[in-house]
Chain A
Amino acid sequence: MKVYLFRWNPRTEEKPRYDTYDMDLNSYLGRREATLLELLGLIARYYDHSLSFLNHSNCNRGVCKRCMVRLNGKVVLACNEVVSEGMEIRVEPVNATRVVRDLVTEGL
């Protein structure tokens, strides 16, 4: 699958960019589907350790709502949103004007 991921460290970078990842979910997970939160974990683990997404206090059950991001423009909870092989997705922070870093924003 193809992932276009919003990246921005407002402290050191003037403007955001989109990184692109071509991923074969099956090779990492042994299945063709993943939750969006799992996918972000895979990118952080295998592609870029500096990727920031809120991961220190996630309930993973749609209760805390702290993993909220935009998937193809629509606001979703990364923990129970499923993405799969063959998809092309764009992942962005909920509010691009309040970015702490990458997908982590103030207020969430």
Chain B
Amino acid sequence: MDTCERYDLEGDVVVIGGSGAAVSAALAAAEVGAKVILLSKGKVGRSGNAIISTANISMDGESAYRMGEKRADRRITPKKIFEGIVTNSFFLSEQYHAAAFAENCGRAVKDFIETGRRIGERFIFIPPSGWITSGRAIGRINRYRLRSTESVTFLEDVMVTDILTVRNRAAGVLGVELKSGRLILAKARAVIVASGGFQPFSFKCTSSDTTGDGLAMALRAGAGLSDMEFQLFLPGVLVQPLNHRGSIFPFLWYVGGFATPDILDEKGRRIIDSYERSILEKSLASKWFKLIHAYYWARAQGPLYFDFGSVKRMKYLVSVVRENILLKLMTGERWRYQGEDFRDLHEMVKRGERWKVSMSSEYSMGGILVERNMETSVEGLFACGEAASGFFGAFRGERALTEVLIEGEIAGREAARFAMGSSFAEPGREWLAERINMIAVGKGKEAQMPDYFEMSAELERLADYGFGALRREETMREALDGVRKVREALDMAAYRGVKPGYDTLFIERVRVENLAICLEAGLLSALKRRESRGMHMRSDYEEVDNENFLYRSVVSLREDGRIELSRKKPDCSVIEPPSGREAGIIDYIRRYP
């Protein structure tokens, strides 16, 4: 029989993930003196969503000025940054997280940029106080950072499937090395989940890593998930041409201040005409950009088009030149953004053709519920970056790449301190053997396995139907029923153990299980929130209702496998949240800078 080997290792801290948050956490833990094991589902520096992001990082103006950027706006104080995060979050951000960010972003970003420049990466200053580089550069810098220390052992292409616990205390993880099928048992005193968010929809602008593994594992281990109803929809993702399907290039073109296209619906109507005048200007030059456009795009029927018909030819050509200057500065190459050559899009414009665009979910504001020190309710289990929640609340304007640096640092340091001061929790032998069997041997008869690919497609269909950018009671309820059916079927289903060599079916099954649990958590939280707030937009409840819904939704897993919902008040010790109701999201935005 073709069975798998097992590889055991032991460290003080295990970090799950391979992008910015994971690397920052691993380095911070190593600095405190911990022996760290990092397990990454993909290749460090070539996986996760950071490498395909807009790749901007930012700090306060004074710190930027001190880095020699004379154009830095010193009025962007840590206090302003703090207020920006909290108001963007619709007051669901834990204010202690936002304060830690505002206080530390200057130092953390400076370190990151200096490390990057040392290995020849480019950072272009963008006023008032940020820099842009390429996703590739972010990846290379993270890889370099990780390799610069010997206290971190890292294994790649390892899909962690379980967090081991003993009496509500983290004890290590179990996973599979995907190319060999070898089982990995990593015992540790503390575990940090830094494996990103979840993306359940069919139309994607994210990496295929984004399956909510860390969230689902943490939930199964006993931690809570929070803010799961808030997915960030990015307006301006290419649907066609097909070779660029899922690219955020149109978004970047639009916010980059290049020749502005008309955004038309299928009937040729300019959707800008449906925008409230007062909000139009704000949409361009502010951190509200994504939310304002998402609000109107979600209400337009069908796909949208970037149409350059009314743009003067010369103006367009000048924009193309400017775009290429920026690309050259960012990456050293012209025409190419991320890994793609976009000359064909410009050719389309020349021929009078339009870019077909839509919205796509790029980020999960929700994630694992953590305390101030990034620890979960499970002792020794920590989370940071996109996998954690509590920082961006209902809406994130920007700063995702900066946030991971700071949260990673805190999680790494705190996990290491915890680990160094405690002994190993030894999982019971029988219990461990059972967990291992579930991966290596499977359950039931192989011939009776359901079609996991079909289930995966069903989940995407349900997410599109009920969990999209504009929601209402009926469709959410239907989608929730559907997801519960999938989860019940999964509970009953037979599956076989992982096979040596790359096992596509095993990967698909784990993906389905994790996405299903995240989607159920998201839908349940969304259903109970009978208001609109940030990226949770409802056509049946348009009001922002601070009287009844200024809380964070928390889900936890009951013994019987059902998901339970509770509420948590966010920390509002610095800025008092608004009271009463706003007529809608746009009215809320109007009140804040």
Q: Which A residues form the contact surface with B (CB < 8 A)?
A: 9-12, 31, 33-35, 44-45, 49-66, 77, 80-82, 100-102, 104, 106
Inter-chain CA distance A52–B504, complex, in Å, is 6
Q: Please, which residues of chain A bring their CB within 8 A of the CB of B338?
A: 59, 61-63
Give 23 A-B contacts (CB < 8 Å), ordered by A residue. Answer: A10-B501, A11-B500, A11-B501, A35-B243, A44-B508, A50-B504, A52-B501, A55-B208, A55-B507, A56-B178, A57-B157, A59-B47, A59-B51, A59-B208, A59-B338, A60-B204, A60-B246, A63-B136, A64-B46, A64-B339, A65-B339, A66-B42, A100-B501
Q: Which residue of A lies closest to B449 (CB)?
A: A49
Question: Among A34, A55, A80, which residue has the most Cβ atoms of chain B within 10 A?
Answer: A80
Q: How far is the CB of A65 from chain B (nearest CB, A)?
A: 7
B42 engages A57 (CB within 8 Å): yes
Inter-chain CA distance A106–B245, complex, in Å, is 28
Q: Which residue of A lies closest to B204 (CB)?
A: A60
Inter-chain CA distance A82–B535, complex, in Å, is 33
User: Given A52-B502, A53-B504, A55-B507 in contact, is the A61-B339 Cβ separation under 8 Å?
Assistant: yes
Interface assignment of B443: CB less than 8 Å from any CB of chain A = no
Q: Which residue of B lies closest to A83 (CB)?
A: B242
Interface assignment of B159: CB less than 8 Å from any CB of chain A = yes
B204 engages A9 (CB within 8 Å): no
Q: How far is the CB of B355 from chain A (nearest CB, A)?
A: 16
Question: Among B46, B242, B452, which residue has the most Cβ atoms of chain A within 10 A?
Answer: B242
User: Given A44-B504, A57-B157, A100-B501 in contact, is the A80-B46 Cβ separation under 8 Å?
Assistant: no
Which of A9, A31, A61, A100 is close to B247, meaning CB atoms less than 8 Å apart? A61
Q: Please, which residues of chain A bring their CB within 8 A of the CB of B340?
A: 61-62, 80
Q: Please, which residues of chain A bring their CB within 8 A of the CB of B508?
A: 44, 49
Inter-chain CA distance A62–B136, complex, in Å, is 10
Report the interface size for chain B: residues with CB under 8 A from the other chain: 42
Q: How far is the CB of A16 from chain B (nearest CB, A)?
A: 14
Q: Please, which residues of chain A bring their CB within 8 A of the CB of B502?
A: 52, 54, 100-102, 104
Dominant secondary structure at the B interface: loop
Q: Please, which residues of chain B bring their CB within 8 A of the CB of A53?
A: 504
Which of B2, B180, B242, B507 is close to A35, meaning CB atoms less than 8 Å apart? B242
Interface assignment of B103: CB less than 8 Å from any CB of chain A = no
Q: Please, which residues of chain B bring their CB within 8 A of the CB of A54?
A: 502
Q: How far is the CB of B374 from chain A (nearest CB, A)?
A: 25
Q: Please encode chain B, from 233 to 260, with 1 for each CB lying within 8 Å of some chain A CB and 0 for all others.
A: 0000000001111110000000000000
Q: Please, which residues of chain A bring their CB within 8 A of the CB of B245?
A: 35
Inter-chain CA distance A52–B136, complex, in Å, is 26
User: Given A45-B457, A56-B178, A104-B502 in contact, is the A64-B47 Cβ separation under 8 Å?
Assistant: yes
User: Given A55-B208, A59-B52 in contact, is the A80-B42 Cβ separation under 8 Å?
Assistant: no
Q: How far is the CB of A35 from chain B (nearest CB, A)?
A: 6
Q: Please, which residues of chain B bring their CB within 8 A of the CB of A102?
A: 502
Inter-chain CA distance A60–B206, complex, in Å, is 8
Inter-chain CA distance A63–B209, complex, in Å, is 14
B243 engages A82 (CB within 8 Å): yes
**Known A49-B504, A55-B507, A82-B243; 14 more pairs at CB < 8 Å:** A11-B2, A31-B242, A44-B508, A56-B42, A57-B41, A57-B207, A57-B208, A60-B246, A61-B339, A63-B51, A64-B339, A100-B179, A101-B501, A104-B179
Interface assignment of B472: CB less than 8 Å from any CB of chain A = no
Inter-chain CA distance A5–B501, complex, in Å, is 18
Interface assignment of B81: CB less than 8 Å from any CB of chain A = no
Inter-chain CA distance A77–B452, complex, in Å, is 26
Which of B41, B52, B244 is close to A63, meaning CB atoms less than 8 Å apart? B52
A66 engages B339 (CB within 8 Å): no
Q: Please, which residues of chain A bring their CB within 8 A of the CB of B452?
A: 49
Kindly list the 4 A-B residue pairs having the minimum CB-CB distance in the complex, ordered from nearest: A62-B339, A57-B42, A45-B453, A101-B501
Q: How far is the CB of B135 from chain A (nearest CB, A)?
A: 6
Interface assignment of B505: CB less than 8 Å from any CB of chain A = yes
Q: How far is the CB of B363 from chain A (nearest CB, A)?
A: 15
Inter-chain CA distance A53–B394, complex, in Å, is 37
Inter-chain CA distance A101–B242, complex, in Å, is 28
Q: Which residue of B lies closest to A8 (CB)?
A: B501
Inter-chain CA distance A45–B159, complex, in Å, is 21
A50 engages B208 (CB within 8 Å): no
User: Given A55-B208, A60-B204 in contact, is the A66-B159 Cβ separation under 8 Å?
Assistant: no
Q: Please, which residues of chain B bring their CB within 8 A of the CB of A65?
A: 46, 339
Q: How far is the CB of A107 from chain B (nearest CB, A)?
A: 10
Question: Among B51, B178, B247, B339, which residue has the most Cβ atoms of chain A within 10 A?
Answer: B339
Q: Please encode chain B, from 42 to 84, with 1 for each CB lying within 8 Å of some chain A CB and 0 for all others.
A: 1100110001100000000000000000000000000000000
